[in-house]
Structure 1
Amino acid sequence: MKQKTLATIVASLLATTAMADGKQVTIASWGGSYQEAQSKALFEPAAIATGIEVKQESYGGMSDVRLQVETGQVTLDIVASGSGSAARAGAEGLLEELDYGVIDVTDFYPTLYSKYCVGGDVFSTVFSWNPEIYGADGLSSWADFWDVEKFPGRRAYRGGVAGALEPALMADGVAPEDVYSVLGSEEGIERALDKIRELRPFIDVFWTSGAQHAQLMKDGEVDMTTGWNGRFDNAAKDGAKVTYTFNQALLDYDCFGVPKGAPNRDTAMAFLAEISKPEYQDDLPKYITYGPTNRAAYATGVIDAATAAALPSSPENAALQLPISLEWYAEWETIAAEMYQEMLTE
């Protein structure tokens, strides 16, 4: 009790000091149920604990950061990013190197942080379907998603390159462990694009945000789509007819970066240190079924066994998936994105 009281007093003093200093950060994420979960589990509690004023925005990704950095008009202090996009943005000089003397990643999974981005959650890119049409067991592979004769219906697919090429190659018979070797050339990328071209006449929507692909299933506009597992879980809670499998899913993580020239760089580092603590990360699965990147979050007692079993980073689920290759995205994403957009405009 004394320790708890002392901790409370210290937190209050720190908060008061921070507020007196007028410290603030502007955080940009992707909106919808995802940003709402981040806000409830991470941003709002950390703001109270530290006294740092948090302003939230929704944004369109690293293209927005690039514009701000290139024009010298940086207004964002922290941005949520996919791991691959962050790797490429860091290589381009769009992100600050993170201060791991301030941000403690001692208990992080070693693959879930980098020089430019610290992991915020673990998620999976999956294929989902309407169980009332295809049954609860429904589809079991990307080959099934491509099989329009066995599984006719309206489809949606990713409108950006991240997480779009790997499923196409697996649907084309490439073993998961060989996917990135095949994608390591323009010929391999073209092979994946050809497979998407094969499916394109049956794709009703190329989605561009997590909120969009979840809404497509909620509204019944499509019968199956690719997307992010947590978005589908939240949609199901809201009454959407949607289910999915982790088999052949892409195991990935979202992270937080600091744009180059952020106006509140040091405060951003301190805030990232706060939300990386296990006592915040263990709350995230309450709001969206994404796993924590801090292993200590599993030891706080907040995440029960049943919840842990449904998270992408649980050992059983992770074993079914293809981990995203940050090295591939850092080297090839720019070229692949151009080729992908050309394919979409053909």
Structure 2
Amino acid sequence: MRNKIALTAAAGLMASTALAPMAMAQGKELTVASWGGSYQEAQSKALFEPYEANTGNTVKQETYGGMSDVRLQVSSGQVTLDVVVSGSGSAARAGAEGLLEPLDYDVIDVSNFPEEFYSEYCVGGDVFSVVPAFSTAKFGEDGPRGWADFWDTEKFPGTRAYRGTVSGALEPAMMALGVAPEDVYAELSSEEGIERALDKIRELKPNIAVFWTSGAQQAQLMKDGEVDMSSGWNGRFDNAAADGAEVSYFFDQGLLDYDCFAIPKGAPNKDLAMEFLAEISKPEYQDDLPKFITYGPTNSAAYETGEITDEVAASLPSAPENMAKQLPISLEWYAEWEQIAAEMYQEMLTE
């Protein structure tokens, strides 16, 4: 089982970025939209507040509803957001739609980023895993290892919660069908393949009590004991466990993904946004994020600063031994198939 990480003191920790303040405070403001909850709180402590301290600029934080909000702002010509947090797949699709500015990697240094963790339109901020979490109150420490177990209602009876949108929802169903991880996206690259995954979710649907739509919701469902298992993001479950929830998970067959930062097309402070991304992508920022939520850095150099202990590193999705157990998300698949798959998924939900 993954090594557990003690986060009980995390709320009281302050980011310890050892960066020298810039010579002259700029006094500028940019607007950054994220998803709220423990995730945005972790970003604020590890990234946004240290950025303000080190630059003299101000980060106006907002929460938003994802790329649908960006699409509305861009289409109306009234863009108010300078930077948005996005799932990598959604950013790939939004970039293909022309909703995002291409990033300037002459400004943003990604020389220590694995190539999987940045793209033309978004730069990775953290690595997370979609995992099958389970109630230790019901199953002890011997819960599901992989998605076939998550679907096995005889071996693991009880209620489930599952993703209410398509991102990260079809791949587990394919693996539950017995498809090898390396073949999942090839199998999903047709409407027939997508329908096959949807049929597998339909099979589980009588046991799905809630289709969750946010990280805060998936964690709260497990904390309150409303469901016995839930798909979801590893760091949310770790924070829930640190707050008293009886929940655990394994990385086996996890879906390795990353959250990224993107700049909406027509952002009012595009140049400042690019400089902001360059600053918070430095290892001295990224090495603080695991103090507040167990997501791994995308900048590999963050493991070399001494801030991330070996014990913590072993519990992060981007640690080599954990990455080897998981399926990396395919941005190419999301850019090509997400819109079609999302429509089919919503039809399945409303049946």
TM-score per shorter chain, which class? over 0.9
- Work out which of the residue numbers 105, 116, 123 in structure 1 matches 2:110: 105
- Work out which of the residue numbers 53, 68, 74 in structure 2 matches 1:63: 68
Cα distance in structure 2, aligned partners of 1:333 and 1:28: 22
Q: Does 1:142 align with 2:117?
A: no
User: How many pairs does the alignment contain?
Assistant: 333
Partner in structure 2 of residue 246 of structure 1: 251
Partner in structure 1 of residue 123 of structure 2: 118
Letter in 2 for 1:146: W
Letter in 1 for 2:94: A
Partner in structure 1 of residue 6 of structure 2: none
Partner in structure 1 of residue 4 of structure 2: none
- Work out which of the residue numbers 224, 234, 239 in structure 2 matches 1:219: 224
Q: Does 1:191 align with 2:196?
A: yes
Cα distance in structure 1, aligned partners of 2:54 and 2:235: 27
CA RMSD of the aligned region, Å?
0.9
- Work out which of the residue numbers 10, 14, 35 in structure 1 matches 2:24: 14
Cα distance in structure 1, aligned partners of 2:60 and 2:224: 31
Partner in structure 2 of residue 159 of structure 1: 164
Partner in structure 2 of residue 332 of structure 1: 337
Identity of aligned residues (%): 75
User: Which residues of structure 2 form unaligned runs of 5+?
Assistant: 1-18
Cα distance in structure 1, aligned partners of 2:143 and 2:132: 11
- Work out which of the residue numbers 209, 228, 233 in structure 2 matches 1:228: 233
Cα distance in structure 1, aligned partners of 2:281 and 2:178: 39
Give 1:48 deviation, angstroms: 1.2
**Length-normalised TM-score, structure 1:** 0.95
- Work out which of the residue numbers 257, 260, 264 in structure 2 matches 1:259: 264
- Work out which of the residue numbers 207, 210, 233 in structure 1 matches 2:215: 210
- Per-residue CA deviations over 1:116-161 (Å, capped at 9, x if unaligned) read 0000000000000001211202111211111112211111000000
User: Which residues of structure 1 form unaligned runs of 5+?
Assistant: 1-6
- Give the number of the structure whose residues are more often helix, by fraction: 1
Cα distance in structure 2, aligned partners of 1:172 and 1:266: 47
2:116 is paired with a residue of what secondary structure?
coil
Letter in 1 for 2:43: Q
Give 1:12 deviation, angstroms: 4.7
- Moved >6 Å (runs of 4+): none
Give 1:14 deviation, angstroms: 2.5
Partner in structure 2 of residue 36 of structure 1: 41
Partner in structure 1 of residue 13 of structure 2: none
Cα distance in structure 2, aligned partners of 1:85 and 1:30: 14
- Per-residue CA deviations over 1:215-237 (Å, capped at 9, x if unaligned) read 10111111100000000000000
Cα distance in structure 1, aligned partners of 2:48 and 2:127: 17
1:13 is paired with a residue of what secondary structure?
coil
Partner in structure 2 of residue 3 of structure 1: none
- Work out which of the residue numbers 307, 310, 320 in structure 1 matches 2:312: 307
Cα distance in structure 1, aligned partners of 2:311 and 2:160: 31
Q: Does 1:295 align with 2:305?
A: no
